Amino acid sequence: MAKITLDFQKRLQQHSNHLVILSAILIVLGYLGKYGVNQIWIWNSTMIIASIIGFIPVAIHAYQAIKVKQISIDLLVSIAVIGALFIGEYEESAIVTFLFSFGGFLEKKTLEKTRSSIKELTNMAPSTALSADGEEMGIDEVEIGDKLLVKTGRQIPVDGRIYQGSGYVNEASITGESREIRKEAGTKVFAGSILENGTIYVEAEKVGEDTTFGKIIELVEEAQDTKSPAEKFIDRFAKYYTPAVLVIAAITWVFSHNLELAITILVLGCPGALVIGAPVSNVAGIGNGAKRGVLIKGGDVMNTFSHIDTLLFDKTGTLTKGNTEVVVVKNYGASKELIDAVASAENESDHPLATAVVRMIGKFNPIKFKKTDVVKGQGIIADDLLIGNEKMMVVNHITISPEQKQDITEITDSGASVVLVAADNRLQLIYGIADEIRSGVKESLEELHHEGISRMIMLTGDNETTAKAVAAQLGIDEVRANLMPEEKAEVVKSLKNSGKKIAFIGDGVNDSPSLALANIGIAMGSGTDTAIETSDIVLMKSSFDELVHAYGLSKRTVANMTQNIVIAIVVVLFLLAGLILGGTGLVPSFVNMGTGMFVHEASILIVIVNGMRLIRYREK
């Protein structure tokens, strides 16, 4: 029986458009029969048939809901239609079923538009790949380690590295930014990107759902189903509201003996706009972000982010580009062997400052150390070689002369960071390393202030002088310097305990404790697994403009949800007021089953269209 019902329901779903059209034709024929040729039998028969045609899919949906112990809107409409047919209100029953079905058709179409951003994203997923010898295969056949050919105009099917060839790649599907980036042997490429020009050979490192693009799609799809506080409240409310409408209608019938009034209450009480208003805003907002490379993990995150009042920034790689460069070298008698040792030790680290030192030194003779220790927040100790900040020198009792202190002050006053090198218990090298501030950051921070962020704080492991120099350029008033990762996390915890709503913006790797502790963790410019898993929001492009977009979008989305809820409640109150006042004779009676269903379906379309406005928020 269940299988027959399910198969029948599928067939009805396939032909739902035809059923709506057939109902409309029958209703028109009924009116022609009554008012055109004055044949009441045509009027009655066509309206009854139209009612039955419209009633069947509604009744099946109601039955499916009852099977899982839910009292749905379909059940309210089904009872109302049966009641209308029972008392001979064939016009009312036909109009109600037609409007309900037609409204459902329009809702489906408009919701498809709302989800268009996400559909576009999933459609961009690669489906085929070329083996290194040019043979086409399905994406499911590709395995890690496979060598693949990518020609001009084709999608890169996997995450991997180029081992031969070069070209220009458009990574819009990952970052949301449509521009061509030069790629050559040794560089990383991402699935879903387009090779605009050139020919490359790629070795697969991640395939299918494990690729960055695959994780983005998975995250966005999950985010759509993660409900905001408003949606959770409405779900709880609707759980009791819909049965309450049924009870009120039954009581009305028992005491008034007016079945028409009772079934009108059933129609007026349908909470369609209320139920759909918040989800449509949520889906449209998340879709808008996904299209811009802003991954927001659901309605709950959207709601929390909209109430953030304090932003905490990591400095290196977040406020700055992370493209560090040695701009000053102070040598106090360091030998070539010592410089080779520095390069060998720093070459083991992926820290931006270490990378800059290795890049500046260039060719060196590798040296093997017996023991290497990374001291968090200080630097590296390789045997008796110390490479790090002033704190490391103080802890290890390295004497810094007045001349060297003056050199350090001059470097840090310029806004550069210092890396100190000590060997044989004395300071022998100072590297001054500068990092370029991201373009447009100052303007973006001003815009965030305007949107509602009241406090901005820079947290950095760098020295205070350098940090304050960068902060001054950006208009950031508060700086906490010389912090280790766990100390940054303590700052986040302290501010949260004081009642602040905190968002922490970092690289998604080194600052994972702070990202996890903040009310909202934001990873900027990182498509790594760690970033996607640890943070609440991922900005695939390293741009503060996208941060402004995400914050503004969260506020607009929450406001849009509120608007939709208000619209839904006002419509129900208006209809009930019209019903009561019309019944008392204070105003002409204008509310019945037909007008009630029309206003109900119209209100659903209004909240959907209102939610769809979010798709175009800050559209370029």
Does residue 329 carry a pLDDT above 90?
yes
pLDDT in tens, 254-279: 888 888 888 888 877 777 778 778 88
pLDDT of residue 404: 94
Is 242 or 452 the better-scoring residue by pLDDT? 452
Minimum mean pLDDT range among 72-81, 188-197, 529-538: 529-538
- Total-model pTM: 0.74
pLDDT of residue 4: 47
pLDDT of residue 111: 64
Task: Compute the average pLDDT of residues 21-49.
Answer: 86
Greatest mean pLDDT among 53-62, 111-120, 416-425, 480-489 lies in 416-425
Is 509 or 221 the better-scoring residue by pLDDT? 221
Dig out the tokens for 254 from the structure: 């028992």
Considering the chain, what percentage of its residues have pLDDT values greater than 90? 27
Going by C-alpha positions, the residue among 442, 620, 438, 447 that lies closest to residue 541 is 438
- Give the contacts of 226 (CB within 8 A, at least 6 positions apart): 297, 298, 299, 300, 301
Angle (CA) 558 562 566, round 5°: 170
pLDDT in tens, 567-585: 988 888 888 888 877 766 6
3-state secondary structure 74-139: HHHHHHHHHHHHHCCCHHHHHHHHHHHHHHHHHHHHHHHHHCHHHHHHHHCCCCEEEECCCCEEEH
Residue written as token pair 């004395």: 426
Does residue 5 carry a pLDDT above 70?
no
pLDDT of residue 436: 81
Question: How does residue 508 score in pLDDT terms, banded at 50, 70 and 90?
Answer: low
pLDDT in tens, 337-374: 999 999 999 988 877 788 899 999 999 999 999 898 88
What is the rounded CA–CA span in Å between residue 617 and residue 447?
Answer: 16
Q: Which residues of 267-276 are buried (b: 16+ CB within 10 A; e: fewer)?
A: bbbbbbbbbb
Minimum mean pLDDT range among 11-20, 84-93, 284-293, 488-497: 11-20
Residue written as token pair 């879709």: 287
Whole-angstrom CA distances from 134 to 149, 207, 596 are 6, 18, 63
Specify the pairing of strand 502-506 against strand 520-524.
parallel
Angle (CA) 235 236 237, round 5°: 90
Q: Which of 146, 300, 314, 536 is catalytic?
A: 314
Does residue 1 carry a pLDDT above 60?
no
Sign (positive/negative) of CA torsion 272, 288, 220, 301?
negative
Other CB atoms within a 10 A radius of the CB of residue 22 amount to 16
pLDDT of residue 468: 86
Average pLDDT over the chain, rounded to whole? 84
CB of 377 within 8 A of CB of 487?
yes
Does residue 288 carry a pLDDT above 80?
yes
Does residue 300 carry a pLDDT above 60?
yes
Task: Compute the average pLDDT of residues 448-459.
Answer: 92
Does residue 587 carry a pLDDT above 70?
no
Does residue 12 carry a pLDDT above 70?
no
pLDDT of residue 335: 92
Task: Compute the average pLDDT of residues 120-127.
Answer: 75
pLDDT in tens, 600-614: 778 888 988 898 899
314 noted as active-site residue? yes
Task: Compute the average pLDDT of residues 517-545.
Answer: 78
What does residue 363 show for φ and ψ, rounded to 5 degrees? -70, 140
